[in-house]
Amino acid sequence: MTLQLCIAQLNFVVGDMTGNARKIIDAAHQAYAQGARVLVTPELAICGYAAEDLLLRPAFIDACDDALKTVARELAGLKGMHVVLGHPQGGGIQSKSVAITQRFNRASVLCEGQVVASYAKQELPNYQVFDERRYFTPGQQPCVFEVAGLKLGLLICEDAWFEAPAQKAREAGAQALLVLNASPFHVGKGLEREVQMSQRVKDCQLPLVYAHLVGGQDEVIFEGRSFAIDANAKVVARAPAFQECLQYIDLKADGATQGLRLSGREIVPESTWEEDLWHALVLGIRDYLGKNGFPGAILGLSGGIDSALVLALAVDAIGADKIHAVMMPSPYTADISWLDARDMVKRLNVRYDEIAIAPLFEGFKSALSDQFKGLAEDTTEENIQARVRGTLLMALSNKTGAIVLTTGNKSEMATGYCTLYGDMAGGFAVIKDVVKTQVFHLAEWRNKHDPYGTGANPIPERIITRPPSAELRADQKDQDSLPPYEVLDAIVRRYMENDEGIHALEADGFERADVEKVTRLIKLNEYKRRQSPVGIRVTHRSFGKDWRYPITNRFRA
């Protein structure tokens, strides 16, 4: 007999238990009509991932319990249908000084209105963006349930990265593993998961179905890309990335081995890192704006590559009709900057306005003239220009309700090559985790591809090829203040993302002056990053939840 299973790769909203339950109910009805008798949802599907300190509120857990009951009740009429539902369960004792956790990260099996089996996650991650030991108690027992004579074992996300939980399931009689997941995206993570899960299959000799979440939640992206691996550790199904879908898998008893054979209907091909990164950033913008109810976006378009890239991403994410680009030239703005900005908005059919900041800039200088008497102009005047621009953009945001998208990249965030309350002013930092060299690669990739049908070749070539400049003083170039971006970005990756020390970098041939400068700037500018907008995480370590350095600090590795 063949058992058809359906992976519900869906995009949930944290805290919208009613809406999330409805999505699961609708998916179950659709899967049942297609012949599936098992539906597997992602981790914590009922409440969305990650709910963070909402999990500490008793009323939140109660709402999750009510939503689970709603799903069970509304699917009770689907005879023989088993829905594996991710949800939190339990409470705890909490006061101002102590909290005793009794909550579990669970996967419960619903069938004909009843919870027929339930599993508690055993391995609770507490690294990078994860903080599950703050909220949950680890489970201890395996869970195996039977459908049509086939025995299926449950795991949740981190469990599958360790050998013991899978072995426990096997010892309890499991013939295949169903893994519920909410595993944050970073470039390369998709292949890493498949390699790791293939190894798990080899170790425990059980085929595996990996049901993954899709969607953006604040800084974190979940790319979907659910998959199934047969007993020979071969990928037999792979769902599309960065979109919702129902992925069907067939499970059939193998009489010769007493195991299960898995087969899928679709293996979506692997994609390039540029394609994955583009889709991740687009999804991050779309979900942050959509789930938080912003009607549109505003951004400062400078004629430089960072703002050009963010504009192209935003158009792909929410459409040209919801974008307002504003050029704010100063006395130091080159003619080619506003010419290229005008060219780009015409290509993308975006609303565009120009607001000259020279009168405002001169007004600030006049107001401060007595205070600055006898002092030479320096970065103070440069920062005033950036803050004038930030004020204008925020005024437009306040008046219209649209969110300001900031355009600073990771290289700038690392070194503080950005202005607090200036170009850092805004609500969402789209490329905060994208280093400058990747910005160039992405711009070139987008000009060769039109993945959302919003317009081919959107970024004028001169924007990509001209030397980058903040244009806050005459003849300014980024490399006047920073090492070449190829060097800077390599140091950021190794020192900031991978925790390598200064001596190791010097031993590998980096110039001591470059290493000293970049690492010193990373340390000095922690106070700026603490005040920057939330931004999309696309590496295994971003300047967000997984970077927790003190501002007051005298240590440098």
Q: Yes or no: say if 77 and 28 are a contact pair by the CB < 8 Å rule.
A: no
Q: Yes or no: say if 110 and 117 are a contact pair by the CB < 8 Å rule.
A: no
Percent helix, strand, coil in the chain, to 5, is 40, 20, 40
In sequence order, what E strands does 333-442 have? 351-354, 403-406, 428-429
How many secondary structure helices (H) and strands (E) does the chain include?
16, 20
- Closest to 144 in 3D by CA, of 82, 87, 236: 82
- Closest to 4 in 3D by CA, of 247, 181, 256: 247
Alpha-carbon distances, residue 305 vs 87, 130, 311, 417 (angstroms): 43, 33, 10, 15
Q: Cβ contacts of residue 193 below 8 Å, gap of 6+?
A: 183, 210, 225, 227
Q: Yes or no: say if 442 and 299 are a contact pair by the CB < 8 Å rule.
A: no
Query: Residues with catalytic annotation?
Result: 43, 121, 157
Q: How many residues does the chain have?
A: 557
- Closest to 325 in 3D by CA, of 334, 340, 432, 473: 340
Alpha-carbon distances, residue 545 vs 42, 52, 128, 130, 399 (angstroms): 22, 12, 7, 8, 31
Q: Cβ contacts of residue 366 below 8 Å, gap of 6+?
A: none
Report the alpha-carbon distance of residue 87 to residue 45 in Å, rounded.
6
Report the alpha-carbon distance of residue 446 to residue 464 in Å, rounded.
12
The 8-class DSSP code of residue 224 comes to B
Map tokens 């007993």 to a residue: 231
Alpha-carbon distances, residue 329 vs 299, 335, 336 (angstroms): 14, 9, 11
Phi/psi at 220 (5° precision):
-100, 140
> What number of other Cβ atoms are within 10 A of residue 206's Cβ?
22
Q: Yes or no: say if 434 and 457 are a contact pair by the CB < 8 Å rule.
A: no
